[in-house]
Amino acid sequence: MTAGPGAPAAARDSAPSLPDDVVRAPAPTSPTRPSARRRRRPEQVPLDGVTRVGRAFAIGAAVLTLVPIPLVLLVALSASWREGPFAGLTTQWLVEAWTRVQGNLGVSVRVAVLVLVLDLLIGFPAAWLIARHRFPGRRLLQAVSTVPIAVPGIAIGLGLILAYPTLRPSGVLMVAGHVLYTLPFLLGALTPALGDPAVRVQESVAATLGAGPVRRLLTVTLPGVRGALLAATLMVLTLSFGEFNVAFFLFTPTQQPLPVVLYDGYLTGRLEAAAAATVLFLACVVPAALALERLGGAKVGQA
């Protein structure tokens, strides 16, 4: 052996790049290695003409996308917007909106959870199949399962109502439409994760260690894809929660999801009331969107 056999392995391993003659500190006992946890502060790189223009555009676009959110809050809190922004603040609109839409919010939450469960039951095995097996028709299955992204939501809704008119009162059609519309996003997140060679090698190692299929799924595969699973879950929940186009033809009068009530408010209600209901909606969706951004998953729904 070239290195001192008596030295603890960790002391040698933790500083592999140090030359041999450097006196080494004993192995760190704290669970955090300072070198690994130290955040490198990214430095500002020089910008050229194009990226400088890009920065200006990015700032402009960010203003365009962000400014309405505080404005919605401002209007929702103003006592009477018509009299101008300085007429005083009130929470009355928010309280009213809450009593008005909480039933619809409940409908939306229930639909979203049901859609998520169905998505997982249908999508997880399908993503597994597409990611891990080569079979004739695989590309076709993949292509067809992305069609709901291309077909406008209103057309999906119309197709469902024309094909199964008698099912409309049950509310089944809206759930089915949401499942169809959200499934491509779930597949898009899960398929690459399940196909990741790193996860598959871990499964093989687990098998050599004696773990059967169920144990492998629960203790290796699911933890291995949990990031993608969480991203897919958030995506499906927020997409279903805000979905309006598919639901437009399919909702039942007794089971109106939140976006339908929002839409009514936008067409007929007072601006303050509509803003207040929108605030409640945003309070559900924006945190999920930010969490999703942290997970690195992005989604592209319909407008």
| Subset of residues 90 to 149 that bind other proteins, contact rule: CB under 8 A | 121-123, 125-126, 128-130, 132-135, 141, 144-145, 147-149
Q: Are 60 and 72 in contact (CB under 8 A)?
A: no
Asked if residue 201 binds other proteins (CB under 8 A), the reply is: yes
Asked if residue 79 binds other proteins (CB under 8 A), the reply is: no
Least spacing, CB of residue 153 vs other proteins, in Å: 6
Torsion angles phi and psi, residue 77, rounded to 5: -95, -10
Binding mask 252-271 for other proteins (x = CB under 8 A): -------x--xx--xx---x
Binders of other proteins among residues 236 to 255 (CB under 8 A) are 238-239, 242-245, 248-249
CA–CA separation, 234 vs 170, rounded Å? Answer: 26
Asked if residue 152 binds other proteins (CB under 8 A), the reply is: yes
Binding mask 181-200 for other proteins (x = CB under 8 A): --x-------------xx-x
Tell me which residue of 189, 178, 193 sits closest to 116, measured CA to CA. 178
Q: How many residues bind other proteins (CB under 8 A)?
A: 140
Asked if residue 88 binds other proteins (CB under 8 A), the reply is: no
Binders of other proteins among residues 160 to 179 (CB under 8 A) are 160, 162-164, 176-177, 179
CA–CA separation, 183 vs 122, rounded Å? Answer: 8
CA–CA separation, 146 vs 140, rounded Å? Answer: 10
Q: Are 183 and 191 in contact (CB under 8 A)?
A: no
Q: Which of 150, 253, 254, 268 binds other proteins (CB under 8 A)?
A: 150
Least spacing, CB of residue 44 vs other proteins, in Å: 6
Least spacing, CB of residue 259 vs other proteins, in Å: 6
Taking the least distance from each CB to other proteins, the nearer of 88 and 125 is 125
CA–CA separation, 113 vs 110, rounded Å? Answer: 5
Q: Are 159 and 176 in contact (CB under 8 A)?
A: no
Asked if residue 279 binds other proteins (CB under 8 A), the reply is: no
The answer for residues whose C-beta is within 8 angstroms of residue 249's C-beta and 6 or more apart is: 154, 157, 158, 160, 161
